[in-house]
Amino acid sequence: MRASKREREFLAQESHKWTCDICKRSNQEIAAEYMLEVTSEAVKELESQNVLGKELTSGGFKAKEE
């Protein structure tokens, strides 16, 4: 893309407002749905690894102290 840094930053800030002509959904709606899906998958993966309720340390996961 040939644009100045300022123009690219402006476009990035405004990109959530873009709406698809076909599905009539905004970029913000599409991104939110995608993030929900990614987050749900991440939670499932952490559950399968039995690491929920634990904290990440430099040596891996350990149970949180309460």
Q: Kindly state whether residue 9 falls inside one of the protein's structural domains.
A: no
Q: Which domain holds residue 34?
A: 24-66
**pLDDT of 10:** 94
Q: What is the pLDDT of residue 37?
A: 84
Nearest to 9 by CA among 27, 28, 35, 1: 1
In a domain, 48, yes or no: yes
Domain-located, residue 18: no
pLDDT tens-digit map of 10-35:
998 998 889 999 999 999 999 888 88
Residue 1 counted as domain residue = no
pLDDT at 56: 65
What DSSP line would sit under 16-45, residue for residue?
Answer: GG-B-TTT--BHHHHHHHHHHHHHHHHHHH
66, pLDDT greater than 80: no
Q: pLDDT by residue (tens digit) across 28-65? A: 999 888 888 888 888 788 778 777 667 766 666 666 66
Number of structural domains found in the chain: 1
Residue type, 27: N
